[in-house]
Amino acid sequence: MSHRKIIHIDMDAFFASVEQRDHPEWQGKPIAVGGNKERGVVAAASYEARKYGVHSAMPSRRAAQLCPDLIFVKHRFDVYKEVSLQIRDIFYQFTDLVEPLSLDEAYLDVTENKYGYKSAINMAMKIKKQIKETTQLTASAGVSINKFLAKIASDLDKPDGLYVIMPDEVEQFVEELPVKKFYGVGKATLAKMERLNIHTGKDLKNLSKLELAQHFGKFGTYLYDVCRGMDHRTVKPHRERKSYSLERTFDQDLETRENVLNTLHVLCNKLSEGLQKRSIKGKTVNLKVRYADFTTMTRAKSLNGYFNDEDIIRNICDELIEEFLESGNGIRLLGVGLSNLYDNDSDPQLKLKF
Ligand code: DCP
Ligand code: CA
Ligand code: CA
């Protein structure tokens, strides 16, 4: 049986880590973002502060009592937003099936991915590494066969974690899982479960679908599935796409004209395939070239109409690459993309049909 490969990524102590990154004097210290000694609530606590029991949503007066040296820091939403966009860009390099849940986390479906990688674990490591390189921050990853499991997994090895639940481990994992770890089980549900003597996934499994529905309503049907390790919810990408592109970095620099052109044509073919599969068309071809010394150049050319045909993309790329071939420098990265995409929302005809 083939399974989906789902990764859930969540940044560690997100707001607090960003503040410690940008203020070295706070590194290694207990800090809280939000509130002050007198009023407000803690939005995020650094790991050093958590040792004292300080956590998100705690009244900050209480936090100051628990940890007298706690440093209160004002939030900078614009910076968190920026980091959030940076990590999303990284996700989109791997797959288009990215479903952000909040600024600091997202589900990725990497069953099919832009690199054709087979190992989701490997990809999770690559994503974490790239997040670290780009933002100097750590993220934790959960890898498994569905959203329910991936989300639980990302929380089990924090910070800087990678937790994998393999298909053949799912059953035992869920049976042993305390119900408070089930996503969606809040305080009230937990109390009710305790009254019913339900403590683990195994206990849930002993109840019929009907019994679960009687006790928990619609949520009961969800519980019936997830305590069996099943979750059919798909990763739902929601973003307006601005461009679609592919790039490759090479272990050995491309030196000859023939080599560069062949590689470029393979990329054009893959790009066109990807575009056609997703019914995306655009007006502008973008070419990116990085030399061995990391100098990076981009070129673009637009046509009047929308297209995604391989031969059109290839002809434009051939034209754009020419100046780089003449330089004689080794090329370590090539990228091709399409932008100025066809936007359904701006098509009056499509708007009228529904
Ligand atoms: N946040 C908030 N108010 C809350 C919870 C969170 O403002 N009640 C903000 C601050 C967090 C960010 O959202 O940094 C992400 O929330 P998480 O729940 O993912 O918690 P952290 O990233 O802070 O910590 P963890 O390492 O446990 O994920
Ligand atoms: Ca987080
Ligand atoms: Ca989060």
In a domain, 47, yes or no: yes
Q: Structurally, how many domains does the chain consist of?
A: 4
pLDDT at 344 over 60: no
pLDDT beyond 90 at 331: yes
CATH of the domain at 175: 1.10.150.20
Within the chain, residue ranges assigned H as helices are 14-22, 47-50, 60-66, 77-94, 120-135, 147-154, 170-176, 187-195, 201-205, 209-216, 218-226, 257-277, 310-327, 348-352
Looking at 142, 167, 192, the residue that finishes a domain is 167
The tokens describing 32, both together, are 């809280």
Q: Looking at the structure, tell me whether residues 98 and 188 fall in a common domain.
A: no
Which CATH number fits the domain that encloses residue 324?
3.30.1490.100
Q: What is the dihedral of CA 306, 264, 97, 344, to 10 degrees?
A: 0
Retrieve residue 236's tokens: 């739902």
Question: Do 127 and 151 belong to one domain?
Answer: yes
Q: Is residue 163 domain-shared with residue 254, that is, in the same domain?
A: no
Highest-confidence segment of 16-30, 84-98, 324-338: 16-30
- The predicted pLDDT at position 343 comes to 57
In this predicted model, which residue has the larger pLDDT, 62 or 348? 62
If you take atom 28 of ligand 1, which residue's CA is the nearest one?
A: 12
End-to-end alpha carbon distance in the chain: 38
Lowest-confidence range among 25-39, 131-145, 225-239?
225-239
pLDDT in tens, 229-270: 999 999 998 766 778 999 998 989 999 999 999 999 999 999
The parent domain of residue 28 ranges over 15-77
Ligand 1 atom 27 nearest Cα: 13
Residue 109 and residue 149 share a domain: yes
Among 19, 48, 99, 105, the one annotated catalytic: 105
CATH number at residue 132: 3.30.70.270
Average pLDDT over residues 7-33: 98
Give yes or no: residues 252 and 331 share one domain. yes
**Does residue 120 sit in the same domain as residue 85?**
yes
Asked if 183 and 271 sit in the same domain, the reply is no
Residues 293 and 322 in one domain: yes
Assess whether the C-beta atom of 104 lies below 6 angstroms from ligand 1: yes
